[in-house]
Amino acid sequence: MLRRLSLLVAAASVVLAAVAAVPVAADSIPSGQRFLGRSVLEPVYNDEQAGEIGYIKQPTNAPQPVPANPVAWAPFYLVVYPVGSTAAPTFLCQHLPVDNCPTHGNGIAALAASAAGEPDVYGAGVAGHDHLMDFPGGPDFNIAWEPVVVLFTPKGAADGVTNEHILTDARISALVASGDAIEVKLPTRTFICASVPATVYNLAKPAS
């Protein structure tokens, strides 16, 4: 186990050393998972630099949770927007008109509408969700990534924040502190991933 963990640490140190980050215009936001061999690729926002986008690749057969000590976990936020939200013309994972993130989109939507989520906000469905994580150099950049689903509360809906595009972890923390959102952590889905340039994402096969 120690040898396996050390290999994971080494791999993560190499492949996550340089997440490609570029500012993207609103009308060119990439959306949806893509598949290349036995890996799934998806776009992510840099939660320390609002609007910067990078791309990650995760092996489809990788263990979850990853065998790493929880002290080496960092948050991987999934901010979920209900049907009717005007926060963005395109989300990194669209749920409508069809789900373009098949490995987890339906599960995220079901969680949002369940008793463990916020059914009063998401009862009519989910428009889409975004991924946010620290890129190299960020204070929460680490070896393994724990999914943290961010859901708006009825207070948040009343305050209009469901129509705000949330792009930083600082803003997430502020919304949670004010009662406008909650965090649902998914430790059993903790994973490792590699960074890839936009060219690899663009060459991969989109989810059908």
Query: Distance between terminal CA atoms of the chain?
Result: 37
Which pLDDT value is given to residue 195? 87
Domain boundaries, position 101: 2-23+32-206
The set of residues, in sequence order, having a beta carbon less than 8 Å from that of 123 and lying 6+ positions away, is 113
| Residue 125 φ/ψ region, left for φ over 0, alpha for ψ in the -120 to 50 degree band, beta for the rest | left
Number of structural domains (the chain) is 1
Please list the residues that pair with 46 across neighbouring strands.
133
Cβ pair 114, 148 in contact under 8 A: no
How far, in Å, CA of 182 to CA of 110, rounded?
Answer: 16
Give tens-digit pLDDT for 154-179: 999 999 999 999 999 999 999 999 99
Which pLDDT value is given to residue 190? 96
* Mean pLDDT for the stretch of residues 70-97: 96
pLDDT at 5 over 90: no
How far, in Å, CA of 61 to CA of 57, rounded?
Answer: 12
Give tens-digit pLDDT for 113-153: 999 999 999 999 999 999 999 998 888 888 899 999 999 99
Give tens-digit pLDDT for 12-41: 333 333 344 444 444 589 999 999 999 999
Cβ pair 143, 149 in contact under 8 A: no
Cβ pair 158, 196 in contact under 8 A: no
Count the helix, strand and coil residues of the chain and give each as a percent rounded to the nearest 5. 30, 30, 40
Which pLDDT value is given to residue 183? 98
Residue 29: count other Cβ atoms within 10 Å of its Cβ: 17
User: Can you give the pTM of this predicted structure?
Assistant: 0.87
How far, in Å, CA of 153 to CA of 164, rounded?
Answer: 14
Give tens-digit pLDDT for 33-63: 999 999 999 999 999 999 999 999 999 888 8
